[in-house]
Each structure stands twice: as structure tokens, then as C-alpha cells.
């Protein structure tokens, strides 16, 4: 009897695992999630959407420009791109990746690696959304169609925050959050370009480049579970990076720095999210400290304390997720350093993660902090949780329910 029951259980689990694996891979390979209208619409004074705005774009388009100081058409291209960018007509960002100097020698090793990765044969070559499209040469008449073509692409639903703070002596603190809004794990890569708005490097005819590449602040692989975030904070020191002329970047001017963050996936290598930021005179609060009981009983209320400081002594708001689907949305303001106490109870047994972040009155957000807590778990509730999970899955994949029913009746 026991052997027969074990066989059934083995059969059910095998079907369950096969379907779960298959379901995940199908969901990961499809690229059909759009977040149209997620960007701010550009609304005219009469409340109609400007027909030339990028309101229908799924994401901010990104262009990396392979360029060289000894290339004549690169001078015109630099001006054409900048004019379109400053017109605000399209939702796009770009970086001039200056590979060679006026003598045709390598100027920046990372720029050189970037160009080789895209097999650049002539300059300028503009790579849109990591080669979804490219423009070779100085052809401004191709810009509108190319940017629109990229802007309408279907992308994974990824959002991000990017904050930069000036630490003095050529040092920047760069905080990022990448949020995966997809139902499946996101596997990809992030890059954050440090650029000078008016570049230290000039073109063939002596005009300064705009958004001239210096270095990466981030160049990392990422893997983010559904609904989760990837957070990081780095200090980029211009004194520690230099070009191939031996000149370091410790002399950067904080008012002349723009950072561009791109997120792209491993499936098609195309860009899903672009973000841009300049240095703010304001600093966000530190990630909040969370304290309170880490073990307890369900349906009993426990007090949790949240506190943090703001570098500029600004008042602070708190955002708390209790891990059970409930949250406290930007409560406050509280004074910097003042303690916030909230009571909460959990209805079901389980392990929960309390997450909290803070923002100041200027909307500068801190990084998240977390506290894991455990409400008692016994065998009965574990069994119930498994049944609940299987039931949820079989609602999504009805054939699985029929297979399990069939197996149990063998």
C-alpha cells in the first residue's frame, strides 16, 4: 500500500516538476510584456498629447556612438545628435564613445572594447538599443525613424532609480535600484556610463563632444527574482581612472557630469531600461534601521521601530512592506533621527521579510533595508502551503490538474 502511494507521489511530483520547469522557460522566452504609456506623457497646454512626443515609447531609447577625434563626419554627427536631443522631441539618451584620438591612436581602452564588441568598421556608427538598429555615417534624416522604431519595441518591464552625489575630489557616489516587474526572473546586465556633458575631448574641427564617455561606474551581470529589486551603491573615483594619454579624471566638474544607466537582458541583448541622472545638491536619507521582534505568534501585534538620518537634516517619509502583501505608503514627515513605531500582525504562519526605505522632502530615496521575521511554522501549515501552491499553479496550467487527477486514480 505504502509502495503504491509512494509511486503515485513520485509520478505526481515528476509531472509537477516537468511542468514547472517548462512553464518557467516558456514564460522567460516570450518577450511580450509591454509597458506602453509607463513614461510620462508630454501634454501640451491644451491637454492634448503632442504628436511629436515619444508618448507611445515603451522605454527610453539609448544610443552608443562609436566615434573618433580624427573622423571628419563625426563632427557634424555630434552636432546633429545634440540638436535633436536638446529639442526634447524624442525620449532618448546617448553617449559619445570616443575610441581614437586626433592621431588615430586609442584614446580610451573601454571605448575600444565597446567598439570591438559591435564590430565597428567606420565612424561614426550609432548603435541603438544595443544593436536593435544602427546608423552608419552622418545621416540625420534617419534619426527619427530609427529612434521611433526602437522606442516602439516590446521590452521587459524593468524600472530603475539612479542617484548621484558629489563627494568632493573627483569622487561620485552612485546609488542604483533595478526593479523587476515581470512575473519571471530577469537575467541580464547593467552598465552605467560616466559622461561629461561638455566633453574634455573635441572633434576633428575642434568642437567639444557632448556626453563624452569617460568610464563605467557599473558593468555587472544581474539576476533579479520576480517582484524583487537589485540595489547597489558604488563610489567612483575619477583619480583612479585615466585615458590612454595618461590623463586621469580627478579634475571632473560636478556640474558637468551626466550618468546614463542601461539595463539589457540576456535573451536578445537589447535594452529594456534607460535612466539618466546628474549630480544633485541634495543627499537622500540613509537606509532605515528596522528593529523589533524577529519571532512571534500569528495574529498578535508587535511593534517595529524605523529610524534613519538625512545628511541635510531634511524631514523624512517612510515606506514599509510587511512581506504579507500589506504596506505603509510614505508615512510622515518625521524629523531626521526621529523614531517611527508601527504595530503589525501576520495572519498566517510563515517567514516574512520586512522591507523599508525612506525619502526626504525633496523625493530623494534611500536604499532598502530588511528584517527577516518568523511566525511559527508547523507541519500542518507547511502541508497547507504546498497544497495552496499546487492549486494556484494548476489554475494557471489546467492540464496539470488533469494529470495529477489521473495519477491519483491509477
If binding is defined by CB under 5 A, does position 314 make contact with Ca ion?
A: yes
- Only one of the segments 6-14, 24-32, 226-234, 302-310 lies at the binding site for Ca ion (rule: CB under 5 A); that segment is 302-310
53 phi and psi, to 5 degrees?
Answer: -80, 170
d(CA 314, CA 66): 43
Smallest separation, CB 326 to Ca ion (Å): 28
Least distance CB 192 / Ca ion (angstroms): 22
Name all contacts of 210-213 with Cβ < 8 Å and 24+ positions apart: 210/78, 210/81, 210/82, 210/85, 210/96, 211/93, 211/94, 211/95, 211/96, 211/258, 211/260, 212/95, 212/96, 212/98, 213/95, 213/96, 213/97, 213/98, 213/108, 213/110, 213/111
Of 44-52, 67-75, 155-163, 281-289, the window that binds Ca ion (rule: CB under 5 A) is 281-289
CB closer to Ca ion out of 206 and 281: 281
Give me the least distance between CB of 89 and Ca ion, in Å please. 34
Q: Is 80 within 8 Å of 138 (Cβ atoms)?
A: yes
Nearer to Ca ion, 136 or 361 (CB): 361
- Please state the closest distance from residue 365 (CB atom) to Ca ion, in A: 10
Query: Which CB atom, from 268 or from 282, has the smaller least distance to Ca ion?
Result: 282
User: Given the rule CB under 5 A, which of 92-100, 144-152, 229-237, 282-290 is the region that contacts Ca ion?
Assistant: 282-290
Nearer to Ca ion, 96 or 310 (CB): 310
Point out which span in 128-136, 141-149, 190-198, 310-318 binds Ca ion (CB under 5 A).
Answer: 310-318
The distance of closest approach from Cβ of residue 314 to Ca ion in the complex, given in angstroms and rounded to an integer, is 4
Q: What are the beta bridge partners of residue 353?
A: 372
Side by side, the strands of the sheet bearing 61-68 are 133-136, 125-128, 61-68, 92-100, 208-224, 186-202, 257-265, 271-278
Does 312 participate in binding Ca ion (rule CB under 5 A)?
A: yes
> What is the distance between the alpha carbons of residues 322 and 315, in angstroms, rounded to a whole number?
23
Judged by CB under 5 A, the chain residues 154 through 183 that form the site for Ca ion are none
**Nearer to Ca ion among residue 175 and residue 196 (C-beta):** 175
**How far is Cα 28 from Cα 20, in angstroms, rounded to an integer?**
12
Quick one: 108 or 366, whose CB is closer to Ca ion? Answer: 366
Going by the DSSP 8-state scheme, the letter that residue 85 receives in this structure is H
At 151, which helix (H) or strand (E)? Answer: helix 143-151
Number of residues that bind Ca ion (CB under 5 A): 6
Binds Ca ion (CB under 5 A): choice among 310, 321, 349, 365: 310
Is residue 360 part of the contact set for Ca ion (CB under 5 A)?
Answer: yes
Which residue stretch of 23-31, 123-131, 154-162, 353-361 sits at the interface with Ca ion (rule: CB under 5 A)?
353-361
Per-residue mark of binding to Ca ion, 228-267 (x: CB under 5 A):
----------------------------------------
Among the listed ranges 9-17, 52-60, 220-228, 357-365, the one in contact with Ca ion (CB under 5 A) is 357-365
Question: From the CB of 399, what's the least distance to Ca ion, in Å?
Answer: 54
Residue 338: CB minimum distance to Ca ion, A: 15
Pairing of strands 133-136, 289-292: unpaired
For position 282 contacting Ca ion by CB under 5 A, the verdict is yes
Least distance (Å) between residue 329 CB and Ca ion: 20
| Element of type H or E holding 168 | strand 158-168
C-alpha cell at 82: 545634440
C-alpha cell at 331: 508615512
When the beta carbons of 157 and 310 are compared against Ca ion, the nearer one is: 310
Nearer to Ca ion, 171 or 312 (CB): 312
CB within 8 Å of 88: residues ≥ 6 apart: 42
3-state SS assignment for residue 26: helix
The verdict on 315 binding Ca ion (CB under 5 A) reads: no
- Cβ distance 160 to 179 under 8 Å? yes
- Binding footprint of Ca ion on the chain (CB under 5 A): 282-283, 310, 312, 314, 360
Amino acid at each position: 500500500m505504502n509502495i503504491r502511494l509512494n509511486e503515485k507521489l513520485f509520478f505526481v511530483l515528476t509531472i509537477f516538476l516537468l511542468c514547472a520547469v517548462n512553464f518557467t522557460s516558456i514564460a522567460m522566452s516570450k518577450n511580450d510584456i509591454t509597458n506602453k504609456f509607463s513614461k510620462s506623457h508630454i501634454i501640451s497646454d491644451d491637454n492634448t498629447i503632442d504628436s511629436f512626443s515619444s508618448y507611445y515609447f515603451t522605454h527610453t531609447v539609448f544610443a552608443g556612438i562609436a566615434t573618433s577625434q580624427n573622423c571628419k563626419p563625426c563632427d557634424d554627427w555630434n552636432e546633429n545628435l545634440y540638436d535633436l536631443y536638446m529639442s526634447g522631441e524624442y525620449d532618448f539618451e546617448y553617449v559619445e564613445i570616443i575610441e581614437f584620438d586626433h592621431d588615430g591612436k586609442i584614446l580610451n581602452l573601454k571605448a575600444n572594447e565597446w567598439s570591438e564588441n559591435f564590430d565597428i568598421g567606420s565612424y561614426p556608427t550609432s548603435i541603438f538599443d544595443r544593436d536593435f538598429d544602427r546608423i552608419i555615417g552622418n545621416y540625420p534624416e534617419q534619426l527619427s525613424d530609427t529612434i521611433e522604431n526602437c522606442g516602439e519595441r516590446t521590452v521587459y518591464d524593468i524600472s530603475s532609480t539612479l542617484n548621484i552625489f558629489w563627494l568632493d575630489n573627483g569622487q561620485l557616489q552612485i546609488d542604483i535600484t533595478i526593479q523587476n516587474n515581470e512575473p519571471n526572473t530577469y537575467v541580464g546586465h547593467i552598465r552605467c556610463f560616466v559622461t561629461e556633458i561638455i566633453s574634455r575631448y573635441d572633434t576633428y574641427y575642434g568642437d567639444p563632444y557632448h556626453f563624452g564617455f569617460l568610464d563605467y561606474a557599473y558593468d555587472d551581470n544581474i539576476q533579479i527574482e520576480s517582484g524583487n529589486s537589485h540595489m547597489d551603491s558604488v563610489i567612483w573615483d575619477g583619480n583612479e581612472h585615466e585615458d590612454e594619454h595618461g590623463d586621469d579624471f580627478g579634475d571632473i566638474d560636478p556640474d558637468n557630469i551626466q550618468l546614463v544607466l542601461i539595463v539589457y537582458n540576456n535573451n536578445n541583448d537589447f535594452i529594456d531600461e534607460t535612466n539618466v541622472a546628474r549630480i544633485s545638491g541634495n543627499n537622500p536619507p540613509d537606509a532605515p534601521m528596522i528593529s523589533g521582534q524577529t519571532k512571534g505568534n500569528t495574529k498578535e501585534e508587535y511593534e517595529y521601530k524605523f529610524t534613519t538620518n538625512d545628511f541635510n537634516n531634511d524631514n523624512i517619509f517612510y515606506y514599509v512592506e510587511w512581506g504579507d502583501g500589506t504596506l505603509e505608503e510614505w508615512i510622515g514627515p518625521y524629523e531626521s533621527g526621529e523614531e517611527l513605531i508601527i504595530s503589525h500582525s501576520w495572519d498566517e504562519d510563515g517567514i516574512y521579510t520586512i522591507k523599508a526605505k525612506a525619502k526626504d522632502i525633496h523625493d530623494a530615496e534611500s536604499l532598502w533595508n530588511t528584517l527577516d521575521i518568523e511566525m511559527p511554522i508547523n507541519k500542518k501549515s507547511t502541508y497547507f502551503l504546498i497544497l495552496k501552491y499546487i492549486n494556484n499553479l494548476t489554475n494557471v496550467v489546467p492540464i496539470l490538474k488533469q494529470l495529477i487527477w489521473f495519477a491519483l486514480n491509477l
